[in-house]
Amino acid sequence: MQDFQNFSTNTYEASSNTVLRNTYRLLGISLIPTAVGAALGLNTSFAFMAASPLLGTILFMAAIYGLFFAIERNKYSSTGVYLLLALTFILGFMLGPILQFTLHFRNGPQLVGLAAGGTGITFLAMSVLGSNAQRNLSSMTGFLTVGAIVLMVASIANIFLQLPLFQLVLAAGFMIFSSLMISWQINEIVRGGETNYISATLTLYMSIYNIFVSLLQILGFVGGSDRD
């Protein structure tokens, strides 16, 4: 009986390790189309978004959530991978406006570097926190669900309100929420609760993306007096 239990434990650990390894691999690959998209977005005017910000935001959100749905529907096939990479390209492209805004500061490149470094450090720290299989973070599920709904409603509200201070609060909220999501998702993988690396990569990628954007917003706000 003890030998059977040991075999079961080893099989469980191998499966979890495989999912985690594939998740990290796909997450790393997903940064390539993100970088390509960001480079293109940085050199795009986004005149349509500036002229019709509400309509542009609605179309953007519809496309993104449509891809979320399509990825989840195809997460057990290679189509899911291609759809995920398409999503990361689009999201990278949509970094254009905030990168353009940030780089208009005299210390813009430093702010972008700080945001990227801060994102990397946050991801590493929260991954380590969640990678302990003895720590069960499943109790965070309800809290994160409520947090996601609150942040979504607040984001929609600010489309109409356009309050800079409220946007700063939202950025801080997204950063905290996304950091917790990283630990929760990694913990789900190592404990066997998440067995699909495409779905896991989507969650981790969106968390990293939101942390980076949030840091850019916060740093841009703090560095506003340094603008040319």
137-192 pLDDT tens trace: 988 989 999 999 999 898 888 877 777 888 899 999 999 999 999 999 999 999 98
105-128 pLDDT tens trace: 888 899 999 999 999 999 999 999
Out of 18-22, 89-93, 172-176, 220-224, which region has the weakest mean confidence (pLDDT)?
A: 220-224
Please report, for the chain, the start and end positions of each structural domain, with discontinuous segments joined by +.
2-226
Across 124-138, average pLDDT: 91
- Distance in angstroms (rounded) separating the CA atoms of residues 127 and 159: 32
- Distance in angstroms (rounded) separating the CA atoms of residues 27 and 30: 5
Mean pLDDT score of the chain: 87
- Distance in angstroms (rounded) separating the CA atoms of residues 160 and 100: 23
Note the pLDDT of residue 134: 86
- Distance in angstroms (rounded) separating the CA atoms of residues 18 and 32: 22
- The percent of residues above 90 in pLDDT, for the chain, comes to 63
Note the pLDDT of residue 224: 57
What are the φ and ψ backbone dihedral angles of 87, each rounded to 5 degrees?
-60, -45
Note the pLDDT of residue 78: 94
Note the pLDDT of residue 226: 55
DSSP structure class, residue 123 = H
- The percent of residues above 70 in pLDDT, for the chain, comes to 90
pTM for this model (two decimals): 0.88
Note the pLDDT of residue 227: 52
**Could you tell me the pLDDT band of residue 61, with boundaries at 50, 70 and 90?**
confident
CA angle 163, 155, 216 (to 5 degrees): 70
**Could you tell me the pLDDT band of residue 7, with boundaries at 50, 70 and 90?**
very low
Residue 14 has pLDDT above 50, yes or no: no
